[in-house]
Amino acid sequence: MRVGIGFDVHKLVEDSDLILGGVTIDYFLGLLGHSDADVLLHAIKDALLGAIGEGDIGRHFPDTDPQYKGISSLKLLKEVVDIIEDKGYILNNLDATIIAQKPKLAPYIERMQKNIAEVLRVDINKINLKATTTEGLGFIGKKEGIAAQAIVSVVERKGL
């Protein structure tokens, strides 16, 4: 078994969609980024790539490459799944936390879990998502941004 950790943060801005876990959240602010700025999926992709020793998403999907402008992070997650499977691994477990003062995310968590499980080709019970606030502290507490962290374990496919 191998383990990886990922972290991402994006600024909240007007005139942008708020997409987390591949779900569009009804909110008046969205996240700023080169792709769709889905901080949750970015953290998950970094954790998966780290678990297999393949660097980070910037190495594989650089924000200087126009082909990734506005791209769905779910699509890029599918590419990361191909990379980990090509190296002979499969997800064993994912635990992730979204850190946001607003909006409340509990109504969206189950849809996010379903999206992620489907793309990772695993049972939903291997995906655990949580959301928390910073109790009004820092840039997240001031509603200037949203962060996410993820930890994953992967196992060799032949070991299943």
pLDDT tens-digit profile of 98-141? Answer: 999 999 999 999 999 999 999 999 999 999 999 999 999 999 99
Q: Is the link from the previous residue into 103 a cis peptide, with omega within 30 of 0?
A: yes
Question: Does residue 60 have a known ligand-binding role?
Answer: no
Question: Does residue 45 have a known ligand-binding role?
Answer: no
Question: What is the phi/psi pair of residue 93, to 5°?
Answer: -160, 145
> So what's the pLDDT on residue 141?
96
Question: Does residue 56 have a known ligand-binding role?
Answer: yes
Question: Does residue 142 have a known ligand-binding role?
Answer: yes
Question: Exposure pattern of 86-110 as b/e (b: 16+ CB <10 Å)?
Answer: eeebbbbbbebbbbbbebebeebbe
pLDDT tens-digit profile of 62-82? Answer: 888 888 888 899 999 999 999
Q: Is the pLDDT of residue 93 over 90?
A: yes
Please give the Cα distance from 153 to 149 (Å, whole number).
14
> So what's the pLDDT on residue 139?
96
Question: Does residue 135 have a known ligand-binding role?
Answer: yes
Give, to the nearest 10 degrees, the angle between helix 39-51 and helix 109-120.
40
Which architecture does CATH list for 2-156? 2-Layer Sandwich (3.30)
Question: Does residue 17 have a known ligand-binding role?
Answer: no
Q: Is the pLDDT of residue 160 over 60?
A: no
Question: Does residue 134 have a known ligand-binding role?
Answer: yes
